Structure 1
Amino acid sequence: MFKPLDAISIGNYQFIPTKGLLVYDSENISLTAKERTLLNIFLKQVNQVIDRNLLLKEGWEDEGVITGRSLDMYVSKLRKKLQKDASISIKNVHGKGYSLNIDQDLRVR
């Protein structure tokens, strides 16, 4: 598979931030601006819990009214777009936040 220079490997996906695309095999999966923002935040701290308030601040700071439900909705959408690779999960850590987990043992190369 061809890998663009600006692509980031996430399990068996390639993330192309400049285009807002996830590529799985030959399938292109478009990300919204919010999904892309969240994924970029998660990628800075893979396998670590990221505080819910930090996600809200970085993802919605410029929009005035912030609702936790919006965050939950975008995390859910991102989960669905990453579900083809069993080695990737976004977990809710009750009372704390979320973590993007990539299990190296389950990855198929």
Structure 2
Amino acid sequence: MQKDIKIAIIEDDENLRFLVSHRLQTEGYKVVECADGNLAEEMVLTEQPAIVLLDWMLPGKQGSEICAALRAKGFENLIIMMTAKAQDPDKIDAYNFGASDYVTKPFNMDVLVAMLDSKIKYVVSHDKSEISKFGDMEHHPNTHSLLKNSKKIELTILENRILLYFLKNINSIISRDDLMMVVWGYNSDVNTRTLDMHIVRLRKKIEDNPDRPQFLQTVRGVGYRFQV
């Protein structure tokens, strides 16, 4: 299937870059590559790929710096950080530099392709990234942020994933297990308390009264429902 979608791979490990590039081209994506942090920014701004796969550790410049610089220059497409297993996603968020999502290395190629395919399906296929509106808010998933009364509220990567899933399943009851699978992925050892903690944080950002949520409601004994 010819997807005609361009993906930039910014990775200094030559073997990994070759493997990812080869697989994505086999899947029908157009690929541009870069191994150097100092050259990456210019390449992305020139090529304007739909998705950037950006390594965290690069010679010349760190991935987080490149990501922040691209966002500052108005690049709004998806930027997916490739990180080492040891890096906790919430630590990534602590830098708040505008990554859309992350994938941990070593990753399974099939999982990476599935992730990219699903992103393409609901982000790139829309003219402008999939902006959802509810209440007095707008959700901008690519830059993981909310606009509330013209004020920008930053979401962490995991909060962004949770909200995105709810917005795709409005008014449906979502079990905790389903939500954990979507947000943390396969074979995750995350527990329900961690999920509930993220829900509490998300409520503080979207609800006028987090103790009596209007949107993100708890369904006792089952999970949650996003009521609009």
How would you bin the TM-score normalised by the shorter chain?
0.7 to 0.9
Judging by fraction of residues, say which structure has more helix: 2
**Larger RCO (CA under 8 A, 6+ residues apart):** 1
Equivalent residue number for residue 151 of structure 2: 27
> Which one of 67, 70, 89 corresponds to residue 215 of structure 2?
89
2: CA distance, partners of 1:58 / 1:90: 17
Which deviations, in whole Å up to 9, do the C-alpha atoms of 1:4-27 show, x marking residues without a partner?
Answer: x43211221011111101001121
With over 3 angstroms needed to count, the CA separation of the structure-2 counterparts of 1:14 and 1:35, relative to structure 1, is same
> What code does the residue aligned with 2:146 have?
L
> Which structure has the larger Rg over C-alpha atoms?
2
TM-score, with length taken from structure 1: 0.80
Count of residue pairs the alignment pairs up: 98
Report the CA distance between 1:62 and its aligned residue: 4.9
SS in 2 for 1:29: strand
Match of 1:75 among 191, 199, 202: 199
Instruction: Give distance in 1, aligned partners of 2:137 and 2:195.
Output: 23
In structure 1, runs of 5+ residues without a counterpart are: 103-109
1:65 is matched with 189
Quote the offset at 1:41 in angstroms.
0.7
Q: TM-score normalised to the size of structure 2? A: 0.40
Q: Hey, what's the Cα distance between the residues in 1 that align with 2:214 and 2:143? A: 21
SS at match of 1:9: strand
Q: Secondary structure at the match of 2:215?
A: strand
Pair 1:8 & 2:145 matched: no
Structure-1 separation of matches of 2:184 and 2:157: 11
In the alignment, structure 2 segments of 5+ residues that lack a partner are 1-127
Matches of 2:183 and 2:132, distance apart in 1 = 20
Matches within 5 A, 1:92-103: 92-102=218-228
The percent identity for this pair of structures is 30
Structure 1 distance, partners of 2:206, 2:147, is: 10
Match of 1:107 in 2: none
